[in-house]
């Protein structure tokens, strides 16, 4: 495997890690904004908060997607590093 391909694999792994971290930060910001909005909201929103209806899977889904992207990025960096050492 040419050195350029190994470097590309490691770079893509780094991009996936940065993407995953960005998604996790976005998740935390969205979740904080949602819960902060409850303090200035109407009564129906408080009922929505207490009953969890309608369900909002976005926060958990973003967090899980971020961790998956980080895991893929780490695997790509490790594989690229192994190829770098063996090549």
How confident is the model over 28-32, as a mean pLDDT?
A: 85
> What's 15's DSSP letter?
H
Residue 59 per-residue DSSP state: H
Residue range(s) defining the domain that contains residue 74: 3-86
Please tell me the predicted confidence (pLDDT) of residue 42. 59
Q: List, in sequence order, every beta strand (DSSP E) within 6-53.
A: none
pLDDT in tens, 34-73: 777 666 655 666 666 666 666 666 778 889 999 999 999 9
Give dist(CA 66, CA 80) in Å, integer: 21
Look up residue 37 and give its DSSP letter. H
Q: What is the mean pLDDT of residues 30-34?
A: 80
- Do residues 30 and 56 lie in contact, with contact meaning Cβ atoms separated by under 8 Å? no
When divided into structural domains, the chain yields a total of 1
Neighbours of 76 (CB within 10 A): 20
Whether pTM > 0.95 for this model: the answer is no
Provide the mean pLDDT of the chain: 84
The DSSP code for 55 is: -
- Closest-CA residue to 77 (of 19, 2, 8): 8
């Amino acid at each position: 495997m040419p050195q350029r391909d190994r470097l590309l694999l490691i770079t893509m792994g780094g991009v996936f890690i940065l993407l995953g971290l960005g998604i996790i930060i976005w998740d935390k910001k969205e979740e904080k904004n949602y819960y902060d909005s409850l303090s200035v909201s109407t009564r129906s929103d408080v009922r929505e908060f207490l009953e969890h209806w309608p369900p909002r899977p976005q926060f958990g889904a973003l967090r899980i997607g971020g961790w998956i992207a980080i895991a893929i990025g780490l695997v790509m960096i490790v594989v690229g590093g192994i190829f770098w050492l063996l090549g």
